[in-house]
């Protein structure tokens, strides 16, 4: 729970300090506060600030449980200041399925689990979360499944989004989801503008990502989200939004029954986007970006980027911006940097999302690898198999482009 900053001495001190300074970090703000005369005169405020400063430093040293930091009264008061800020914030990076809360998901999921396709939904839930996930009997059960637990990796994170995906069964569900999200962020988090990243097409040849339930067309998805946000905007004219269709970048993330290659499938979706705007001109001002998402540990070489390049160029020629996720996960740092480089030079992305690999000092990274290997060596232990990925990939060779791409190129060459 956030605290009203106007209701406490602590809030008054922080409001005064923050409004008199500009662009300071949290650490500097706490430092200044603890030296201020305002705090000297109020010992209870000093105690709270000192306690919080200790917690923040302890968390930096050993980042285990952030709950205790966030639940501290200073954190809750700072949150209250954000919420009371006179200008609403812009949410520039939010994914539809990652943002659906348990109060939205639970009643819809319960209805599906009581419906005629119960068995296939239960099966999907077991696959994504394990046998112990069932039965789901309350909002709290859903909340627990939707949250990232300590130590969960990125691919696991992509899997825990499954519950949110299951309930988006038609246009109406997308409309309700957009309205619910806009209302929640506007009310609880002082947000007045949302750039929403959402899955444009659910087609996939990966069994782990395939969903039971009815087929939902991209048109239903886009119109549903548009209607939900517009409904909220009619009630709150200061609210605004951008729809950003997102595409999984993994090589298997396309309908291999319908398309010979990922390139062909992506180009088809690009034409669908352009077709939707031609059919519903009101979408033109709202659907202005695209994004690529997913597990990119196998998506970093030039050949990987070539597949979606023609589609990206077509979108760019129609004024679309590419705001894309790269350099977020990688098997070794070089590949993380390589994926950012290729995204910039092959897709000509306008905005890089995350780009974490660019923030890692290579000297630090490679020396850390060396130290880890030496520490294991000292104990007579081998390097764990999952950390030997680099050499294994090299042995089996990704030097040649994937077979599908070679076939597509051969077909193109024979046509011209
Ligand atoms: Zn993201």
Q: Band of the pLDDT at 97, cuts 50, 70, 90? A: confident
Q: Please give the pLDDT value at position 128.
A: 82
Q: Distance, CA 118 to ligand 1 centroid (Å)?
A: 31
Q: What is the pLDDT of residues 176-203, one digit of tens each?
A: 999 999 999 999 999 999 999 998 887 6
Q: Distance, CA 210 to ligand 1 centroid (Å)?
A: 20
Asked if residue 143 has pLDDT above 80, the reply is yes
Q: Distance, CA 292 to ligand 1 centroid (Å)?
A: 9
Q: In 3D, which of 377, 309, 291 has the Cα closest to residue 345?
A: 309
What's the rounded Cα separation, in Å, for the pair 146 and 152? 12
What's the rounded Cα separation, in Å, for the pair 126 and 31? 49
Q: Band of the pLDDT at 398, cuts 50, 70, 90? A: very low
Asked if residue 332 has pLDDT above 90, the reply is no
Q: Distance, CA 258 to ligand 1 centroid (Å)?
A: 28
Q: Distance, CA 298 to ligand 1 centroid (Å)?
A: 18
What's the rounded Cα separation, in Å, for the pair 344 and 351? 9
pTM of the model: 0.82
Q: Distance, CA 354 to ligand 1 centroid (Å)?
A: 7
Q: Distance, CA 12 to ligand 1 centroid (Å)?
A: 35
Tokens at residue 259, please?
């398309």
Q: Distance, CA 345 to ligand 1 centroid (Å)?
A: 21
Q: What is the pLDDT of residues 31-65, one digit of tens each?
A: 999 999 989 889 999 999 999 999 999 998 888 77
Q: Band of the pLDDT at 208, cuts 50, 70, 90? A: low
**Distances in Å between the alpha carbon of 71 and those of 68, 152, 303?**
5, 22, 47
Which is more confident, 208 or 381? 381
Q: Distance, CA 154 to ligand 1 centroid (Å)?
A: 11
Instruction: Answer yes or no: are the C-beta atoms of 202 and 211 closer than 8 Å.
Output: yes
What's the rounded Cα separation, in Å, for the pair 4 and 298? 47
Average pLDDT (380-408) is 59
Instruction: Answer yes or no: are the C-beta atoms of 202 and 259 closer than 8 Å.
Output: no
Q: Please give the pLDDT value at position 300.
A: 86
Asked if residue 400 has pLDDT above 70, the reply is no
Q: Give the lowest-confidence range in 145-159, 193-207, 210-224, 390-404.
A: 390-404
Q: Distance, CA 324 to ligand 1 centroid (Å)?
A: 8
The ranges assigned to domains in the chain are 5-86, 92-295
Q: Distance, CA 143 to ligand 1 centroid (Å)?
A: 20
Residues contacting 279, CB < 8 A, separation 6+: none
Q: Distance, CA 288 to ligand 1 centroid (Å)?
A: 17
Q: In 3D, which of 91, 92, 250 has the Cα closest to residue 158?
A: 250
- The residue count of the chain comes to 416
Residue 179, exposed/middle/buried by CB under 10 A (0-12, 13-18, 19+)? buried
Tokens at residue 301, please?
């070489």
Q: Distance, CA 15 to ligand 1 centroid (Å)?
A: 31
* CA-based R_g, the chain, Å: 24
Q: Distance, CA 91 to ligand 1 centroid (Å)?
A: 12
Asked if residue 401 has pLDDT above 60, the reply is no
What's the rounded Cα separation, in Å, for the pair 218 and 200? 5
Q: Distance, CA 98 to ligand 1 centroid (Å)?
A: 9
What's the rounded Cα separation, in Å, for the pair 384 and 215? 42
Q: Please give the pLDDT value at position 393.
A: 39
Q: Which DSSP letter does residue 107 get? A: H
Q: Distance, CA 325 to ligand 1 centroid (Å)?
A: 7
Q: Please give the pLDDT value at position 207.
A: 64
Place of tokens 């605004």: 240
Cα 103-106-109 angle, rounded to 5 deg: 150
Q: Please give the pLDDT value at position 405.
A: 57
Q: Distance, CA 168 to ligand 1 centroid (Å)?
A: 19
Given its phi and psi angles, is residue 146 left (phi above 0), alpha (psi -120 to 50 degrees) or beta? alpha
Q: What is the pLDDT of residues 254-302, one digit of tens each?
A: 888 888 888 999 999 999 999 999 999 999 999 999 998 888 888 888 8
Report the chain's mean pLDDT, rounded to a whole number: 87
Q: Distance, CA 88 to ligand 1 centroid (Å)?
A: 21
**H or E element, residue 152:** none
Multiple choice CATH, 92-295, 3.40.50.1110, 3.20.20.80, 3.20.20.140, 3.40.50.720: 3.20.20.140
Q: Please give the pLDDT value at position 352.
A: 92
Instruction: Answer yes or no: are the C-beta atoms of 273 and 200 closer than 8 Å.
Output: yes
Q: Please give the pLDDT value at position 122.
A: 86
What percent of the chain lies above the pLDDT cut of 90? 52
Q: Distance, CA 94 to ligand 1 centroid (Å)?
A: 6
Residue 403, exposed/middle/buried by CB under 10 A (0-12, 13-18, 19+)? exposed
SS3 for 246? strand
What's the rounded Cα separation, in Å, for the pair 299 and 331? 11
What's the rounded Cα separation, in Å, for the pair 84 and 169? 36
Q: Distance, CA 375 to ligand 1 centroid (Å)?
A: 35
Residues contacting 258, CB < 8 A, separation 6+: 203, 265
Q: Distance, CA 293 to ligand 1 centroid (Å)?
A: 7
Instruction: Answer yes or no: are the C-beta atoms of 13 and 21 closer than 8 Å.
Output: no
Q: Give the lowest-confidence range in 19-28, 90-99, 152-161, 311-320.
A: 152-161
Average pLDDT (107-116) is 88
Which range of 97-101, 284-288, 360-364 scores highest in mean pLDDT? It is 284-288
Asked if residue 395 has pLDDT above 60, the reply is no
* Phi, psi of 205, deg, nearest 5: -105, 10
Average pLDDT (411-415) is 67
SS3 for 293? strand
């Amino acid at each position: 729970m956030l605290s009203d900053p106007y209701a406490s001495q602590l809030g008054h001190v922080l409001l005064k300090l923050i409004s008199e300074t500009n662009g300071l970090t949290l650490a500097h703000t706490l430092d200044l506060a603890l030296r201020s005369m305002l705090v000297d005169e109020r010992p209870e405020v000093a105690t709270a600030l000192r306690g919080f400063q200790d917690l923040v430093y302890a968390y930096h040293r050993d980042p285990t449980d952030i709950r205790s930091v966030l639940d501290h009264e200073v954190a809750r008061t700072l949150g209250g200041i954000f919420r009371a800020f006179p200008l609403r914030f812009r949410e520039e990076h939010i994914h539809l399925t990652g943002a659906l809360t348990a109060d939205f998901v639970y009643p819809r999921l319960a209805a599906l689990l009581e419906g005629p396709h119960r068995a296939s939904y239960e099966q999907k839930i077991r696959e994504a979360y394990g046998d112990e996930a069932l039965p789901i009997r309350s909002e709290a059960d859903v909340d627990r499944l939707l949250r990232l637990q300590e130590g969960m990796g990125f691919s696991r994170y992509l899997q825990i989004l499954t519950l949110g995906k299951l309930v988006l069964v038609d246009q109406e569900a997308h409309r309700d989801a957009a309205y619910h999200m806009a209302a929640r962020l506007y009310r609880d988090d002082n947000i007045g503008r949302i750039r929403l990243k959402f899955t444009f097409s659910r087609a996939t040849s990966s069994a782990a990502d395939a969903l039971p339930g009815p087929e939902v067309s991209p048109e239903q998805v886009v119109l549903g989200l548009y209607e939900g946000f517009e409904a909220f905007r009619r009630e709150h004219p200061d609210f605004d939004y951008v729809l950003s269709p997102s595409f999984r970048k993994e090589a298997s993330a396309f309908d291999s029954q319908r398309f010979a290659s990922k390139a062909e499938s992506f180009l088809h979706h690009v034409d669908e986007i352009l077709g939707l705007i031609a059919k519903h001109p009101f979408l033109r001002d709202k659907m202005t970006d695209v994004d690529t998402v997913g597990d990119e540990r196998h998506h970093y070489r030039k050949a990987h980027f070539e597949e979606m390049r023609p589609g990206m160029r077509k979108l760019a020629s129609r004024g679309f911006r590419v705001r894309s996720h790269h350099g977020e996960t990688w098997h070794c740092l070089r590949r993380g940097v390589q994926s950012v480089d290729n995204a910039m030079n092959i897709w000509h992305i306008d905005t890089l999302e995350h780009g974490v690999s660019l923030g890692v000092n290579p000297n630090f990274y490679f020396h850390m690898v060396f130290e880890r290997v030496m520490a294991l060596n000292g104990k007579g232990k081998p390097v764990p198999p999952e950390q030997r990925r680099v050499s294994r990939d090299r042995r089996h060779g990704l030097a040649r482009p994937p077979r599908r791409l070679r076939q597509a190129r051969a077909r193109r060459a024979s046509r011209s």
